[in-house]
Amino acid sequence: MATDTDKSGGAWPAVRRFLLENGALTALALLVVVMSLLSDDFLTAQNLLNVGVQAAVIAVLAFGVTFVIIAGGIDLSVGSVAALSATVLAFLATVEGVPVWLALPLAAATGTAAGLVNGALIAYGKLPPFIATLAMLSVGRGLSLVISEGSPIALPDSVAALGGSIGGWLPVPVLIMVVMGLITAVILRRTFTGRAMYAIGGNEEAARLSGIRVKRQKLGIYALSGLFAAVAGVILASRLASAQPQAAQGYELDAIAAVVIGGASLAGGVGTAFGTLIGALILAVLRNGLNLLSVSAFWQQVVIGVVIALAVLFDTLRRRSGSAGGGTGAGASVSRGRRGIQLVIAAAATAVVVGALSFLVPNSSSDGPRVGMSVSTLNNPFFIQMRDGAQAEADEAGVNLVVTDAQDDASQQADQIQNFISTGVDAMVINPVDSDAAGPPVVGANNADIPVIAADRGVTDAEVATLVASDNVEGGRLAARTMAEALGEEGRIVVLQGTPGTSASRERGAGFEEGIAEYPDIEVVAQQPADFDRSKGLDVMTNMLQGNGDIDGVFAENDEMALGAAAALSSRGEEAVVIGFDGTPEGLEAVADGVLHASIAQQPAELGRTAVRNAIAAANGEALEETVMVPVEVVTEENVEDFS
C-alpha cells in the first residue's frame, strides 16, 4: 500500500510545508549558516553550548510571557520580578540563614505572588495589562533594591552550582530551559488552562459565554508568568554567583520579542512553546554571532531591531496570505507560492542585514596577539576614554583589540567573556559591571589558561594577572577634603550617588563618607542615586533643592551628575560648591569655566593604555605586578590646564 509520503511525491513536500509553517525555525537555520560562514569560531561545540546558556534566561522568561500573550495580555514586569525573586532567595539563604531547600520555594512564591497581584489588578481591578505590569516593574525593582540595600548579595554554593555544568560540558541552565519548555508545551496542549488561554486570547467574550471563568483564568495565567520569571531569576543569579538588584533590566522586551518572533500574535490566541524557544535562540545567535564578528555594540542594537521587525513583518504577511488563500486547488497553490516567495524574501533580507554588518568588522589580520576587552558601558564619557586609550595602545603595539559593551548588564558581560573564551583570545581586559558577578565567567577564562587583566574594578573569587585601577576610595576622601577646604569646614551639603549596587558608587561613596566624617560642622542633609546620568542628576538635584532649602555644596560621584547638579543650581539662581569625579573632558572644561569647583581626575585613557600594555605582557608570559595604580588627582581651576 502506498504511503502518504509516496502520494505526496516524496519527503520534500512535507519538509517544504514544515518550513513554510515554521518561519522562525527557517530563519534560525539561515542565521546559523550565515554566522558559520562569517566566523570560523561560531560552529563549534563550545560556542553552541554558549548560545544555549545565553538563551536560557530569556527563553524561560519568554515561556511565561507566552501564556500571557496567547491570552491577549502583556507582562512588562518579568525582568523586575526575576531580580526580586533572586534577591529574596539570596537574602534569605545568605543573610538570614534560611535553609536553601526552604529559600528556593519562597523565591518561587515571591514571583508567583507578584504575578497574582498583576492578575488581580487586571482581572478584578480592570486595569489595562500594560499599566498594571508597568507598575509591577517599578515595584519589583524597588523592592529588590530595598531588600539588598542596593548591593549584590552572594548566593550559597549549592544554588550557584545551577549556573555550572554537569560533567564539565552539559550546562545546567540549558537543561532547565528544556524542562521549562516541556512544561510550557504540556500546559498549552494538555490542560484546560492552556485551552482557556487560546480561547480568551481569541475572543474573551465568547470564552466567557462558553463557561470559562475568565477572571480566575487570568489570575492563574499571570501567576504562571511570575513563577517562570522567578525561575529565570534564579538561573541568572546562579550564573553570576550573586543576586544583582539591577539584574534583568530590559529583559522583558527581549522576552516579548522572542515570543513574537516565534510566531505568537500580540492580538492573542496564537503561540507555541516551540516557537518561543526558537525566538529566544534567534536572539541569542544574533548576539553571540555579532560579538564573534566584533560588530560594534551600537550596531548590534540596530541589527537586532531590524531582524525583529523583519520577523514580525513577514510572519504577518504569511498569516494574511494563509487566511486569504485557504482551501484546495489553484487557490491553495497560489497561497503556497506566495508563502514560499515571502519566506525567500525574508531569508534574503536577514542574510543581507547580517552580511552587510560583517563589513563593519575591523580588519583583524594583525599577526600580534588578540586581546578581548569587555567594558561595563560605553554610554559614559569615562569609559569611552578608557576604550580610546586602550585602542591607541593596541594600535601602537600592532595588537588586534576586540571591544564589547556590556551595557551595565552583568549577565551580558558574562556572555561576552564566554565568547572571548570560545574565540581563543590571547588575553582579556575586563572592566567589571560588578566585581562579584564577574567572578564565575572569569573563572572560565582561568580554566582556559587565558590571562585576565581587571581594569578600574577588581574581580572577586577569580584569578587576574593584575588589577589596573584608580583608587576610588582615596578619590572619595580627596573629594571630601577638597569640599571641606572650599566651605571653610562648615556647611550643608548633598551627595548624588551613582547606580545603586555598582562597585564604583559604593567605593567613592564610602571614601567620601569616611573623609567628610572628619569635619563635624559639615552636615550631609540628603543623598540620592542619580545613576551616573546627567539628566537624572538635574532632576534629583532640583528635587533636593526644593526639599532642603539652601545648599552649600554638592558631591557627585561622577562628572555627568555634577554637571546636571550645576545646571539645576543655575536654573534656580543659586550657587554652591560642586565637585565631580572622573576628570572627563567636559568635566574639566566646566572646572576651567568655574561651573564645577573641582573634579577628581582618574585619567581613564591612561588606565586603558596601561591595561592593554599589561594584557600584551601577560599574553607573552611575562610576570606582572599584582596591582598597578593609576594616580587620582584633584583638578581645580588652578591646575586644570595641566590635565586639559
Q: What's the per-residue H, E or C state across 495-511? A: EEECCCCCHHHHHHHHH
Structure-block grid coordinates of residue 624: 606582572
> What amino acid is encoded at 566 in this protein?
A
Q: For residues 23 and 26, what is the distance between their CA atoms, to the nearest angstrom? A: 5
State the first-to-last Cα distance of the chain, in angstroms, to the nearest integer: 87
Q: For residues 100 and 113, what is the distance between their CA atoms, to the nearest angstrom? A: 20
Nearest to 561 by CA among 581, 588, 585, 590: 581
Decide if 644 contacts 592 (C-beta within 8 A): yes
> Using one digit for the tens of pLDDT, what is the confidence trace for 236-286?
999 988 898 888 888 998 999 999 888 888 888 989 999 999 999 999 998
Residue 537: which H helix or E strand, with range? helix 534-548
Band the pLDDT of 294: cuts 50, 70, 90.
confident
Q: Classify 460 as helix, strand or coil.
A: coil
> Using one digit for the tens of pLDDT, what is the confidence trace for 49-82?
889 999 999 999 999 999 999 999 999 999 999 9
Decide if 57 contacts 232 (C-beta within 8 A): yes
Q: For residues 335 and 328, what is the distance between their CA atoms, to the nearest angstrom? A: 10
Residue that the C-alpha cell 513574537 belongs to: 260
Q: For residues 611 and 372, what is the distance between their CA atoms, to the nearest angstrom? A: 11
Residue 339 has pLDDT above 80, yes or no: no
> Using one digit for the tens of pLDDT, what is the confidence trace for 552-592?
999 999 999 999 999 999 988 899 999 999 888 899 999 99
**Mean pLDDT, residues 78-88 taken together:** 96
3-state helix vs strand vs coil in the chain, percent to 5: 65, 10, 25
Q: For residues 65 and 232, what is the distance between their CA atoms, to the nearest angstrom? A: 12
Decide if 148 contacts 88 (C-beta within 8 A): no
Q: Which runs of consecutive H residues, i.e. helices, occur in 325-373?
A: 330-358
Residue 622 has pLDDT above 60, yes or no: yes
What's the DSSP call for residue 270? -
Band the pLDDT of 461: cuts 50, 70, 90.
confident
Q: For residues 499 and 493, what is the distance between their CA atoms, to the nearest angstrom? A: 20
Q: Which runs of consecutive H residues, i.e. helices, occur in 71-128?
A: 78-90, 100-123
Structure-block grid coordinates of residue 401: 583589540
Which of the residue ranges 20-34, 85-99, 366-380, 404-418 would you say has the lowest mean pLDDT? Answer: 20-34
pTM: 0.79
Q: For residues 488 and 494, what is the distance between their CA atoms, to the nearest angstrom? A: 16
Residues 547, 549, 551, CA angle at the centre, nearest 5°? 115
> Using one digit for the tens of pLDDT, what is the confidence trace for 147-169?
998 888 989 888 988 888 887 77
Q: Which runs of consecutive H residues, i.e. helices, occur in 43-97?
A: 45-70, 78-90
94 CA to centre of own chain:
24
How far, CA to CA in Å, does 39 sit from each of 404, 467, 616? 17, 32, 24
Decide if 167 contacts 179 (C-beta within 8 A): no
HSE (CB half, 13 Å, CA atoms) of 284? 26
Q: For residues 92 and 133, what is the distance between their CA atoms, to the nearest angstrom? A: 26
Decide if 608 contacts 385 (C-beta within 8 A): yes
The radius of gyration of the chain's CA atoms, rounded to the nearest angstrom, is: 27
Which of the residue ranges 80-89, 113-122, 364-373, 414-423 would you say has the lowest mean pLDDT? Answer: 364-373
**Residue 4: what pLDDT?**
47
